[in-house]
């Protein structure tokens, strides 16, 4: 989705890019939320510095998501912002692949793994999508 979004933004595709963005934003937020609920607290008990670094990066990624989302709303998004986000997210994913996921495989109870997989399979149920500004709550 990252490459797809970058290509759509470069092409100034005002139809596909927002839909791709919405799916990407939801997936990234759900992913980080699940890690923070299930994995990072266990890691913090063994390696607080590593856990703190991951949470700080999640905070930076959320800020970048907010900036990109706002730029989408204002129709001012530039491909460079998407590229910076992609670089940051890929670097973070590499860190997680080296540190967090091997730790999770060794330490998570089976019940937690089941819950984690359930949440990742149904992201919209655990992270509501933003409503358009004109929509009113039901």
Closest alpha carbon to 118 in 24, 26, 34, 28: 34
Closest alpha carbon to 104 in 46, 25, 59, 65: 46
**pLDDT tens, position by position, 57-112:** 999 999 999 999 999 999 999 999 999 999 999 999 999 999 998 898 888 888 87
Residue 136: pLDDT band (50, 70, 90) is very low
- Report the alpha-carbon distance of residue 109 to residue 113 in Å, rounded: 6
Q: What residue segments make up the domains of the chain, in order of their start?
A: 2-122
Average pLDDT of the residues in 43-55? 96
Other CB atoms within 10 A of residue 133 CB = 6
- Report the alpha-carbon distance of residue 31 to residue 36 in Å, rounded: 9
- Report the alpha-carbon distance of residue 73 to residue 116 in Å, rounded: 32
Residue 122: pLDDT band (50, 70, 90) is low
- Outline where 75-109 has alpha helix (H): 79-95, 101-107
| Predicted local distance difference test score (pLDDT) of residue 133 | 40
| Predicted local distance difference test score (pLDDT) of residue 21 | 94
Q: Taking the chain, what is the end-to-end CA distance rounded to the nearest angstrom?
A: 31
């Amino acid at each position: 989705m990252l490459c797809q979004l970058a290509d759509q933004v470069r092409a100034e595709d005002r139809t596909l890019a927002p839909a791709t963005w919405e799916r990407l934003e939801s997936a990234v937020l759900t992913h980080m939320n699940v890690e923070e609920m299930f994995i990072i607290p266990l890691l913090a008990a063994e390696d607080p510095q590593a856990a703190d670094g991951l949470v700080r990066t999640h905070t930076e990624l959320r800020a970048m998501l907010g900036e990109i989302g706002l730029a989408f709303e204002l129709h001012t998004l530039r491909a460079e912002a998407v590229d910076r986000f992609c670089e940051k997210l890929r670097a973070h994913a590499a860190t997680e692949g080296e540190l967090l996921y091997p730790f999770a495989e060794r330490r998570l109870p089976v019940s937690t793994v089941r819950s984690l997989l359930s949440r990742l399979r149904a992201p919209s149920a655990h992270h509501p999508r933003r409503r358009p500004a004109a929509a009113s709550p039901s």
